[in-house]
Amino acid sequence: MRSISLSRFLIEEQREKQVISSDLRLLIEVVASACKGIALAIGKGGLADVLGSAGSDNVQGEVQKKLDVISNEILLDANEWGGHLAGMASEEMEGPHAIPNRYPKGEYLLLFDPLDGSSNIDVNISVGTIFSVLRCPEGKEPTEAAFLQPGTQQVCAGYTVYGPNTLLVLALSDGVHAFTLNRETGNFVLTQENIQIPAETREFSINTANARHWEAPVKRYIDELQAGVDGPRAMDFNMRWVGSMVADVHRILARGGVFLYPIDEKNRAQGGKLRLMYEANPMAYVVEKAGGAATDGYQRILDLVPHRLHQRVAVMLGSKDEVERLNRYHAE
């Protein structure tokens, strides 16, 4: 493969394919640059006193890690001044973040989970950043209402995995592409084009510690997988669970599989565990563009109409055949 930088790739997407606009290209480049800063902060670990609790809670009442706060600030600072955004929203903040009046405004809205899986950061497990881009409705101020668009309205989405190497996975209208950070040059370089998830799989990802709380369709599905060659599926499956959504979903992109964080008796009152706007929608967009599927068990994730910024949902995504089976079990 030719050595193609992220900037060159985006310019070709804009100039030759007309897939993105110049402002969207700038937005993606700025997000990627911010993610380099986050990767650098994570890489310092205990050397820079960035591990452990920040001594505060986020809007969901969850304990914030120091790197949650640092990552959020890096993304806000990087994206305020470029003139490509009308507003931002973060999982770590209660409401939208307005672009300061001293800077020009653009047509896009940026949503992000600055550090997904941060509960694992102290034990050196892969974490990541998830982001989603929408257009700000014409004539609307970037209040919460402007962000409440179904996932089908996303113009791009993606995530960064901070692991043994730093990977940026970007989903555009023409497909899903992966870029690896060259730490020597500081550039993201294209390493995979047009990623496709295999339709069939023998791997699943779920937190089985919650098995006693699952609804009947999920319990039926997992029981069948665990029965292996002696069960109705007549083949063995392996379970993989990292507990960091970006790591679990990236494994699915790499070799197929299905990821489940279903609604259960523990999270029913909240509507689910994962956030629709910051996690479910962008990951569903990536997975669908890679040939997979994403559902809450009853409805396509991307068709859900959000009614609040921090709304939670059930999430089941990955290889298309398995997601369709889960939909069928829920319907039955």
For the domain 6-192, what is the CATH code?
Answer: 3.30.540.10
Each residue of 263-282: pLDDT tens digit?
999 999 999 999 999 999 99
Q: What residues does 299 pair with on adjacent strands?
A: none
Question: Considering the chain, what is the average pLDDT of its residues?
Answer: 92
The residues spanned by each domain of the chain are 6-192, 203-331
Residue 125: what pLDDT?
87
Residue 56: what pLDDT?
65
* Rounded distance between C-alpha atoms, residue 229 and residue 309, angstroms: 44
Q: Tokens 């294209």, residue? A: 190
Each residue of 95-120: pLDDT tens digit?
999 999 999 999 999 999 999 988 88
Residue 43: what pLDDT?
87
- Tell me the CB-side half-sphere exposure of residue 239, using CA atoms within 13 A: 15
- Decide if pLDDT at 50 tops 70: no
Strand bridging mode 238-239 / 53-57: unpaired
First to last CA, the chain: 47
Q: Do domains 6-192 and 203-331 have the same CATH topology?
A: no
Q: Tell me the mean pLDDT in the region 150-156.
A: 98
* Rounded distance between C-alpha atoms, residue 116 and residue 147, angstroms: 20
- pTM for this structure? 0.95
CB 67 within 8 A of CB 20: no
Highest mean pLDDT (candidates 7-16, 41-50, 57-66)? 7-16
Q: Residue 56 is encoded by which pair of tokens?
A: 């505060």
CB 84 within 8 A of CB 155: no
- Tell me the CB-side half-sphere exposure of residue 146, using CA atoms within 13 A: 25
CB 34 within 8 A of CB 181: no
Strand bridging mode 156-162 / 166-172: antiparallel
Residue 77: what pLDDT?
96
User: CA torsion, points 53, 56, 57, 62, in degrees to nearest 10?
Assistant: 20
Query: Could you tell me which of 59, 53, 157 has the C-alpha nearest to residue 112?
Result: 157
- Provide the pLDDT confidence category of residue 61 given band limits of 50, 70 and 90: low
Residue 134: what residue type?
A: L
Q: What angle (nearest 5°) sits at the alpha carbon of residue 291, between those of residues 290 and 292?
A: 100
- Decide if pLDDT at 54 tops 60: no
Q: Tokens 């550039």, residue? A: 187
Q: What angle (nearest 5°) sits at the alpha carbon of residue 282, between those of residues 211 and 52?
A: 65
Nearby residues of 185 by Cβ (< 8 Å), 6 or more positions away: none
* Topology of domain 203-331, CATH: D-Maltodextrin-Binding Protein; domain 2 (3.40.190)
Phi and psi at residue 107, to the nearest 5°: -100, 0
Query: Could you tell me which of 108, 126, 105 has the C-alpha nearest to residue 117?
Result: 126
| DSSP conformation letters of 188-225 | EEEEE-S----S--SEEE--GGGGGGB-HHHHHHHHHH
* Rounded distance between C-alpha atoms, residue 134 and residue 76, angstroms: 16
